[in-house]
Amino acid sequence: MIIWFGSSVMVELSDSGMTIGWVRVTIVDMVDELGRWKWCLLEHVLPYEILIRLAAIKSPFGNSYDQRGWLPSLDKKFSAIVVFRGISRVKTFLWLVCHGNVLTNDERGRRHLTIDRGCHVCGAGIENIDHILRWCPLAFSLWNSLVLADKFEEFLQLSIKDWIFADLSMTGNFAVDATNWDLLFAYILWNLWKRRNDVVFESHVVYRESILQQSKRMTNLPTLGWCKLNTDGAVHKYSQLASYGGRVGICSALEAELWGIFEGLLTAWLMDIRCLVVETDYLEAYHLLQNSATSYGCFTLMSHISELLTRPWTILFSHIVREGNVLVDTMAKMEVDEIFMCYRFCLPPYCCLDRLGLEAAVVSPGSWPS
């Protein structure tokens, strides 16, 4: 955690507090029952120049909790980014764009990191952030299909900062369809930047979705009262053991996928979840689930799944692209020691944290019910 005085850093602490001797404490722990700072403790961990500035700050209430905050800003454009309701990584990207800190080829050239300032997507001589997000043919054609015809010229002529502020805060100003325009606009910017990076650094990437499709999927906000189950099965190359988060023995990848769906449905039922979206990237499994009443003969497991589906709850099935299921794909391939064991994690395993961010930022899960 960073505490600020005006535009300068006061002191930096970890999110979980600071250490005094062998005890871990937070800021609220440094206040007595009368709401006064515990100077006898603070003087041992903070320098004098910080203590005299802290003396002018009223201590928090005893039942308060630490939280992030911003000083009032005269620049409403940055305030629009602060209150952005989408993915944090995209919010950070918008902030970098407005500050001119995105490493385009033009910016890299200015910093003497490259001699090639051109666009690798369309071949233009200068690749700055305005070109990537508005004028590159990939972006231009996309905006042309989404922005009102009589507003299109204004949409292209605004400065980058004004442009982002207008689309995040005045959602009905430019868009043909203003529904969730702030989210769609921001995710298109993010995916344009991601697509550009893939072209520059990973030219072999094959896309199954357009930028617009990808961005629209990311705008699908969870519906109150619904939960989502993502599943995947895997067959290990050498042992031939199948897994879905726990080994089930030797079987096909389809059977492993169905095992994951069965265990997921059973777990959801036992957790009293009664509105559930089930997502799988295995098309054959999806078709079996859609016709579960006539799929008994395929695998005995299908009869157990069908029994779960007849219970008094609402289940929706969705097929998603593989890129939207990378987290559970990684977990399905994790090495486990016990056969016939289902492993449950309260928190994502450490080896999956990068996949969690990738899945959230690159391809968001499918549609939620309305």
pLDDT tens per residue across span 162-194: 999 999 988 778 999 988 899 999 999 999 999
> Distance between CA atoms of 1 and 10, rounded to whole angstroms?
11
Fold of 227-348: Nucleotidyltransferase; domain 5 (3.30.420)
Mean pLDDT in residue range 93-104: 92
Distance CA 356, CA 176 (A): 33
CB-side neighbour CA atoms (13 Å) of 291: 10
Per-residue confidence band for 363, with pLDDT thresholds at 50, 70 and 90: very low
Q: What is the pLDDT of residue 12?
A: 47
Point out the least confidently predicted range of 146-160, 270-284, 313-327: 313-327
Q: What per-residue confidence (pLDDT) applies to 155? A: 94
CA-nearest of 130, 131, 156 to 143 is 156
Q: How far is CA 226 from CA 208, 274, 275, 311, in A?
A: 27, 8, 5, 17
pLDDT at 160: 93
Token representation of residue 289: 């689930």
pLDDT at residue number 24:
59
Give me the percent of the chain exceeding a pLDDT of 70. 73
How high does pLDDT run on average in the chain?
78
In the chain, % of residues over pLDDT 90 = 29
How many whole angstroms from its chain centre is CA 293? 36
Q: In the chain, list all ranges with CATH 3.30.420.10.
A: 227-348
Rounded Cα–Cα distance for residues 197 and 215 (Å): 16
Helices 160-169 and 88-99: angle between axes, nearest 10 degrees: 150
Range name among 48-62, 72-86, 221-235, 282-296 with the lowest pLDDT average: 72-86
| Residue pair 226/173 in contact by the 8 Å Cβ criterion | no
Question: Can you tell me the mean pLDDT for 258-265?
Answer: 89
Q: Over range 318-340, report the average pLDDT.
A: 67
Range picked from 240-249, 313-322, 360-369 for highest mean pLDDT: 313-322
> Is the pLDDT confidence value at 311 over 90?
yes
Among 154-168, 259-273, 301-315, 323-337, the minimum mean pLDDT is found in: 323-337
Are 118 and 126 in contact by the 8 Å Cβ rule? The answer is yes
Which range is least confidently modeled, 43-57, 59-73, 346-360? Answer: 59-73
pLDDT one-digit tens code per residue, 180-232 = 899 999 999 999 999 999 888 876 666 767 899 888 888 876 677 888 888 88
What pLDDT is recorded for position 37? Answer: 82
Crossing angle of helices 300-309/253-270, nearest 10°?
30
pLDDT at 301 over 80: yes
pLDDT band at residue 42, thresholds of 50, 70 and 90? confident
pLDDT, residue 151, reads: 93
End-to-end CA distance of the chain: 38
Separation between Cα atoms, residue 341 and residue 322, nearest integer Å? 25
Mean pLDDT of 251-264: 86
**Alpha-carbon dihedral sign for residues 92, 88, 26, 39:** positive
**What is the residue-wise DSSP string for 208-268?**
SS-HHHHHHHHT-PPPTT-EEEEE--EE-TTT-EEESSSEEEE--HHHHHHHHHHHHHHHH
Q: What is the structure's pLDDT at 362?
A: 46
User: Rounded CA gap, 198 and 352, in Å?
Assistant: 22
Residues 44-53: contacts with CB under 8 Å, at least 24 apart: 44/20, 45/18, 45/20, 46/11, 50/10, 50/11, 53/5, 53/10
Return the amino acid letter for 310: T
Q: Taking 90 as the threshold, does the pLDDT of residue 282 lie above it?
A: no
Instruction: Please give the pLDDT value at position 132.
Output: 96
